[in-house]
Amino acid sequence: MNSPLPASTLTPASDPAAGGDVCLANAQLVLSNGLLSGYITIENGRITEITEGDRIPPGALDCAGDLVIPGLVELHTDNVERHIEPRPEVDWPHLPALIAHDAELASTGITTVFDAMRAGSIHSGKGRYNNYARDLADELLAARAEGLFKISHFLHLRAEICSETLLEELAAFGPQDRVGIVSLMDHTPGQRQFRDLSALKTYVAKKRGMTDADFALHVANLLDLQKRFGAKHETGAVAEAARLGAVLASHDDTTAEHVATSAANGVGFAEFPTTRRAAEACRAQGIAVMMGAPNLIRGGSHSGNVAARELAEADLLDIVSSDYVPSALLLSAFQLAELWGDLPRAIATVTRNPARAARLTDRGALKTGLRGDVLRVRKAGTTPLLRGVWSHGIRVS
């Protein structure tokens, strides 16, 4: 993967100053360059020792030959939105939702997450705009500062190009919010993810209960928004990402022309390119390619786009995201290990590679000096079973 050089190191200001201590011994340690039988020691939340051999130090946890891998790094998940709105038009209390979201991710081995929040709203038809990102971010940052979370949380703003309020919503954020990622979302019907309008109709009708007439009006409205605001919003979102010091990501690139525009905008990684041609163009431009774990596990895209497995077989896959199924991230890495015959390379797609893409230089690998974010994993056939999760050296699951 050809990742951009880090402009800065993001670190959550709320992580406890003093992390936990633990030693995991009699383990197969999955390092960046191979496996090592031995033990790993974490002190005050940082990895202090990695030693080969069968010695079990006093007080160490005997892993009985289980794998120990870095904690998973998730760059794009819709999971927080699912918790704050578990059903359409159901606004769940946000703090309990955030805490439940955090606990769910910890239970699946994710120790760092960039929580995706939509920026850019369309008039709801009920006399208001459903712009929630600023308020939700305030609640998330406050909870993080109070130490209520088990894992590390960063902000990911999904900049909806087809909207009416994108630039106003982005302007409400500042460098103090430590936004990690801004992704460019253009959901104009008839292109990118929804080139096939029937796929869009199935998705929207199921989610919102639209009639045929409602759907036709929805499509016409989005096309009008793209015509009126598309170019302005894309240019503005790129500038806002730079102002915020965030990594810029593209979304659903489909053509080589899309990728050329992404490269010109300074995109660091591409979320879910929809065609192999776009993935090949990303590789040529040095843009890391991220695909969804559900796509890999299901054997294809639910929208009819390129299969993640096809890109993996063509050496065009760098990063995996759990997308809408948190537990899929760990499983996808082990499926890639079977496909590639290379466990360290597969684990890197959910640890080191996403950390680098997001300019996180303090995690993503088992290496002395890095954060003590580690997982103990046992395999049941080809299925990984989590036996323990440590975030900053503290056991969280």
CA pair distance 41, 36, nearest whole angstrom: 14
**103-128 per-position pLDDT tens digit:** 999 999 999 999 999 998 876 554 44
CA nearest neighbour of 270 among 315, 225, 231, 321: 321
CA nearest neighbour of 122 among 65, 76, 169: 169
Residue-by-residue pLDDT tens, the chain, 397 positions: 433 333 344 544 445 556 999 999 999 999 999 999 999 999 999 999 999 999 999 999 999 999 999 999 999 998 999 999 998 778 899 999 999 999 999 999 999 999 999 998 876 554 444 789 999 999 999 999 999 999 999 999 999 988 889 999 999 999 999 999 999 998 666 565 666 666 665 666 666 667 777 777 767 777 777 777 778 999 999 999 999 999 999 999 999 999 999 999 999 999 999 999 999 999 999 999 999 999 999 998 877 789 999 999 999 999 999 999 999 999 999 999 999 999 999 999 999 999 999 999 999 999 999 999 999 999 998 899 999 999 999 999 9
Query: What does the block give as tokens for 211?
Result: 């009639």
215: DSSP letter: H
Can you give the residue ranges of every domain in the chain?
Answer: 72-360
Ramachandran region, residue 299 (left: φ > 0; alpha: ψ -120 to 50; beta: rest): left
Q: Global pTM?
A: 0.89
What residues contact 81, with CB distance under 8 A and at least 6 apart? 116, 117, 118
What residues contact 188, with CB distance under 8 A and at least 6 apart? 161, 162, 194, 222, 223, 226, 230
Predicted local confidence at residue 41, as pLDDT = 98
Domain at 72-360: CATH code: 3.20.20.140
Predicted local confidence at residue 193, as pLDDT = 61
Predicted local confidence at residue 382, as pLDDT = 86
Predicted local confidence at residue 7, as pLDDT = 39
Query: What does the block give as tokens for 49?
Result: 């020792």
Exposure class string for 99-132: b at 16+ Cβ within 10 A, else e: eebbebbbebbbbbbbbbbbbbbbeeeeeebebb
Predicted local confidence at residue 361, as pLDDT = 97
Predicted local confidence at residue 128, as pLDDT = 42
| Angle, CA of 66, 355 and 368, to the nearest 5° | 55
**10-59 per-position pLDDT tens digit:** 544 445 556 999 999 999 999 999 999 999 999 999 999 999 999 999 99
